Amino acid sequence: MSFRNRWLMISVGLGILLNPLNSSMISVAIPRLQNEFQLDFTVVSWIIFSFYIASAIAQPIMGKASDLFGRRRIFLTGLVVSFIASLLAPLSPNFGWLIALRIVQSIGTSMMVAVGMAIVRIHITEKQATALSFLSIFLSGAAAIGPFIGGVIIHWWGWPAIFLVNIPIVVTSFLLAWRHIPKDIPSTTSAARNMSFRKWSDLIDAPGVLLFTVGLVALLVGLLSIKSSGQITFSSVIVGLIGFVGLGAFVRHELKAKAPFIPLRTFVKYRAMTWVNVEFLIVNLLFYSLFFGLPSYLQIVRRVSEFNTGMLMLSLGLCSLVTSPMAGRWIDKSGPGPALLMSGMLMTCGSLWIVTLDQNSPVISVCLVLAAFGVSNGLNSVAMQAALFKSSPKEMIGVASGIFNTSRYLGTILSSILISTVMGDSFSFEGFRVLGMILTLIALSLVFIHWRRKETGQSHGF
């Protein structure tokens, strides 16, 4: 691989790691933010909701935008947007401003994720698989060690530092990208100048995006306001109904749209691929419920410092990173089914550990559940991707990958909803055990599905 290509990969890799890094560092900051702004746990959880909802919407839109405006231009713009958001977020006068800047940060980092892989595919023609696996290390590695980095930074410099730490990464990536990412072909970007607003709106399915956003946010506000206040009010019911109506209108619109934001017709046509996405959603629901719930348990219930919480969470990331390459060799020989069955069993054991907790359980014992979920995440990251490729028609692989990422974000959003619904206004030991019971039931259902599929010989891509 040439010298220029190596620097191209590094510049792209530094940019795309910002999205998973910032989505994972925040898990250690929740208790500090709750105390700083004097808010209950449900309200503070919007720092997680907002980022993933914005990412789920922004990434497919920016992928389409890059075809019109150029991938280099979108990548560099994303870095500028991320720089501004990271610089202003620590100056937020209230939590509302912090949420707004968090959304801006999500959009900026999503711009780079949406086009980073495409830049490498287009401009690196030799050893392309090696180059893409190199970028995957940036993505998975940043997500895995994010809680550790966040814990150390918050312990020494406070929560604003988890935004400021982005600035040197952004500046370095921008300088390298400006120098090493080739300029876009003029004929590719000229089409954007001649495109009407109506045509651009149809291309990104603006009505679908609007219905999805309004419906999802309204439904979340309605549900969480009931849990936070402890009573059903007229306003919460109205807002919740608006959410249901909005999502219903979204489904109806997507089934008729020529270029849908989420191609729901694809789910009906390719059932095997649909089951892969459903299970991927459930897997992410399980994983991120622990990922976001355990740091709050350690800090709020067990009074563990941010630094020590980050150190303990490191075992999750290390186990995930070590498992992934070994999982690849196993799946090449046996297919994704056995690996997914093992993953479900590990998540069941980890969830049962939460149920058996008591007030005197050694804090260090959390490494056992973190290791179980870390290994399962390493297995899932490879096995679910393999199952997707196996179940998706070759001509649909681009669309299938987009739906796959949407399933990841929806699973993450649902995990935050689950935690907020169980905990309400404050994170408690009893609530954490209830969360463990729910996760155990979900994990057991996954094990049963994979076991039945193995016994009956059904593949469905597995």
Question: Do 226 and 305 fall within a single domain?
Answer: no
The token pair at 106 is 């999500």
Residue 186 has pLDDT above 60, yes or no: no
From first CA to last CA, the distance across the chain in angstroms is 35
Question: Do 282 and 423 fall within a single domain?
Answer: yes
- Mark which of 165, 193, 221 sits at the end of a domain: 193
Residue 460 has pLDDT above 60, yes or no: no
- Mark which of 140, 172, 193 sits at the end of a domain: 193
The answer as to whether 198 is a domain residue is no
Residue 190 has pLDDT above 80, yes or no: no
| pLDDT (0 to 100) of residue 107 | 93
The answer as to whether 143 is a domain residue is yes
Categorize the per-residue pLDDT at 342 as very low, low, confident or very high, splitting at 50, 70 and 90. Answer: very high
The answer as to whether 174 is a domain residue is yes
In whole angstroms, what is the distance from residue 214 CA to residue 207 CA? 11
Question: Do 242 and 282 fall within a single domain?
Answer: no
Which residue would you say has higher pLDDT here, 424 or 282? 282
- Please give the average per-residue pLDDT across 124-138, as a whole number: 67
Report the amino acid identity of residue 344: G
Most confident of 129-138, 179-188, 198-207, 371-380: 371-380
Please state, as a whole number, how many other Cβ atoms lie within 10 Å of the Cβ of residue 424.
18
Categorize the per-residue pLDDT at 172 as very low, low, confident or very high, splitting at 50, 70 and 90. Answer: very high
Question: Do 236 and 271 fall within a single domain?
Answer: no
Question: Do 237 and 384 fall within a single domain?
Answer: no
Total domains, the chain:
3
Which residue would you say has higher pLDDT here, 407 or 229? 407
Question: Do 92 and 6 fall within a single domain?
Answer: yes
The answer as to whether 319 is a domain residue is yes
Q: 211: Cβ–Cβ under 8 A, 6 or more apart, which residues?
A: 246, 247, 249, 250, 253
The answer as to whether 307 is a domain residue is yes
| pLDDT (0 to 100) of residue 209 | 87
- Please give the average per-residue pLDDT across 294-319, as a whole number: 89
Question: Do 12 and 155 fall within a single domain?
Answer: yes
- Please give the average per-residue pLDDT across 56-70, as a whole number: 79
Residues of the domain holding 26: 1-193
- Percent of the chain whose predicted confidence (pLDDT) is above 70: 89
- Please give the average per-residue pLDDT across 269-296, as a whole number: 88
Residue 283 C-alpha from the chain's centroid:
12
Categorize the per-residue pLDDT at 86 as very low, low, confident or very high, splitting at 50, 70 and 90. Answer: very high
Which residue would you say has higher pLDDT here, 79 or 314? 79
| pLDDT (0 to 100) of residue 153 | 93
Question: Do 140 and 215 fall within a single domain?
Answer: no
Question: Do 266 and 153 fall within a single domain?
Answer: no
Question: Do 246 and 274 fall within a single domain?
Answer: no
Question: Do 245 and 267 fall within a single domain?
Answer: no
Residue 269 has pLDDT above 90, yes or no: no
| pLDDT (0 to 100) of residue 81 | 96
- Mark which of 193, 217, 237 sits at the end of a domain: 193
The token pair at 337 is 């089914």
- Please give the average per-residue pLDDT across 212-232, as a whole number: 76
The answer as to whether 346 is a domain residue is yes
Residue pair 222/243 in contact by the 8 Å Cβ criterion: yes
The answer as to whether 199 is a domain residue is no
| Long-range contact set of residues 163-167: C-beta below 8 Å, sequence gap at least 24 | 163/85, 163/86, 163/87, 163/89, 163/90, 163/105, 164/86, 164/87, 164/90, 166/18, 166/21, 166/22, 166/82, 166/83, 166/86, 167/83, 167/86, 167/87
The answer as to whether 200 is a domain residue is no
- Percent of the chain whose predicted confidence (pLDDT) is above 90: 28
Question: Do 268 and 387 fall within a single domain?
Answer: yes
The CATH number covering residue 13 comes to 1.20.1250.20
Residue 45 has pLDDT above 80, yes or no: yes
pTM exceeding the 0.85 threshold for the entire prediction = no
Residue 174 has pLDDT above 90, yes or no: yes
In whole angstroms, what is the distance from residue 57 CA to residue 53 CA? 6
Please state whether 158 falls in left (phi above 0), alpha (psi between -120 and 50) or beta. Answer: left
| pLDDT (0 to 100) of residue 130 | 63
Categorize the per-residue pLDDT at 8 as very low, low, confident or very high, splitting at 50, 70 and 90. Answer: confident
